[in-house]
Amino acid sequence: MKAVVYTRYGSPDVLRFTDVERPAPKDKEVLVKVHAVSLNASDWEMLRGKPLYSRIAGPFRPRHHILGSDIAGRVAATGRSTTLFQPGDEVFADILSSMGGLAEYVSVPESALARKPADMSYEEAAALPQAGAIALQGIRDRGHVRPEQKVLINGAGGGSGAYAVQLAKLHGAEVTGVDNAEKLEFMRSLGADHVIDYTREDFTKNGRTYDLILDLAAHRSAFAYPGSLLPGGRYLYVGGSVATLLQVLLIGPVIGRSAGKKIRLLAVRLGAQHVTPIVELHQAGKIATVIDRRYRLSEVSEALRYLGEGHAKGKVVVIVE
Ligand SMILES: NC(=O)c1ccc[n+]([C@@H]2O[C@H](COP(=O)([O-])OP(=O)(O)OC[C@H]3O[C@@H](n4cnc5c(N)ncnc54)[C@H](OP(=O)(O)O)[C@@H]3O)[C@@H](O)[C@H]2O)c1
């Protein structure tokens, strides 16, 4: 089968579009014929091996040689002990822990798969899992956003941010989106009430305060956030620098408690059951998927470069023919 392979960390130039052996499903796995894969910042990070947390599985060389975690496709074969799916079923999943989606076929644990609604396209189904789970857990489950609260989303113009802005508005919040100048109009079009260009203004230094800061691109000291939170407010780290992650984990709870606020990591729970609620919102027309660009499997280097250089407004999807 065709796949996009890499064996060392580096720029998109280290990726090769080549022939590899088609995987065989293990007992509890399902072989999926991939139709669409959406790219996430985690693919970019695992390609480059930066930040350091992206090297957890392979400190010196990538452990998984095929990137791609958000897949949608059709069941091609099932392992001996699977019970839930049949060949031909339309499915989708986030397979962040095993990757392998940027290929014509991928073997996926049955437990990770969700059924694709018939009226949802493969592209939409591939776009939703990781970004949707981050948004739902960040805004609703851990963010506990309520009507009229003030919410700031840092990195709001990217894949997860686009869903998070819409969800926060759905919960009745007043939303501020932070991203680069190219994405200000895009954030407004998603519903953001206020937008900030992070290259011109530091939201931690402008005197404004929020009930929730959802940080998809964290790089400040953990001490920078309490001053931007309202009493009882919370800051959730989703992705960004390892230095900020360590500070949030080690001293965040202490800094937060002393100020009557919460400074925490959002460890996103992945899996079929966590994707279902966001799919329901999507199918009810309450949130929309914005696909910025589509690429072919042979064009993954270009697609990842576009995402990694920060141009993508919403999702970038690879169509596997
Ligand atoms: N915690 C967990 O369990 C978990 C699970 C999965 C993924 N993640 C993480 O979630 C993060 C977000 O993923 P995503 O797919 O939504 O990323 P994405 O699509 O790349 O979006 C991130 C956005 O942040 C912007 N940005 C970059 N630097 C910024 C800054 N200093 N201030 C404000 N905005 C900035 C980017 O734009 P520009 O680069 O153009 O400026 C981009 O629009 C990733 O870091 C990923 O590793 C976390």
The pLDDT tens digits of the residues spanning 109-157 come to: 999 999 999 999 999 999 999 999 999 999 999 999 999 999 999 999 9
The two tokens of residue 169 are 């508005």
What is the rounded distance in angstroms from the CA atom of residue 35 to the CA atom of residue 29? Answer: 18
Which tens digit of pLDDT belongs to each residue from 164-211? 999 999 999 999 999 999 999 999 999 999 999 999 999 999 999 999
Find all residues with CB under 8 Å of 255, minimum gap 6, and list them.
Answer: 222, 223, 226, 263
What is the per-residue pLDDT across 266-312, written as a single tens digit (0 to 9) for each?
A: 999 988 888 889 999 999 999 999 999 999 999 999 999 999 998 99
Ligand 1 center–CA 54 separation, angstroms? 13
Separation of CA 59 and ligand 1 centre (Å): 22
Is the distance from the beta carbon of residue 239 to the nearest atom of ligand 1 less than 6 Å?
A: yes
With 90 as the cut, is the pLDDT of residue 63 above it? yes
Distance from Cα 158 to the centre of ligand 1, integer Å = 6
Collect all residues with Cβ–Cβ distance below 8 Å to 231 and sequence separation of at least 6. 260, 261
User: DSSP character for 103?
Assistant: B
Gap between the Cα atoms of 215 and 163, Å rounded: 14
Q: Is the CB of 268 under 6 A from ligand 1?
A: yes
Strands (E), 135-277: 150-154, 174-179, 194-197, 210-215, 229-237, 262-265
Amino acid letter, residue 142: R
One-letter amino acid of 183? K
Q: Is 162 in the pocket of ligand 1 (CB under 6 A)?
A: no
Distance 157 CA to ligand 1 centre (A): 9
Return the H-helix or E-strand segment holding 90: strand 90-94
pLDDT in the model for residue 321: 78
Residue type present at position 43: D
Report the atom number in ligand 1 closest to the C-alpha of 307: 20
Q: Is the CB of 159 under 6 A from ligand 1?
A: yes
What's the pLDDT band for 259 if we cut at 50, 70, 90? Answer: confident
Give the Cα separation of 139 and 72 in Å (integer). Answer: 25
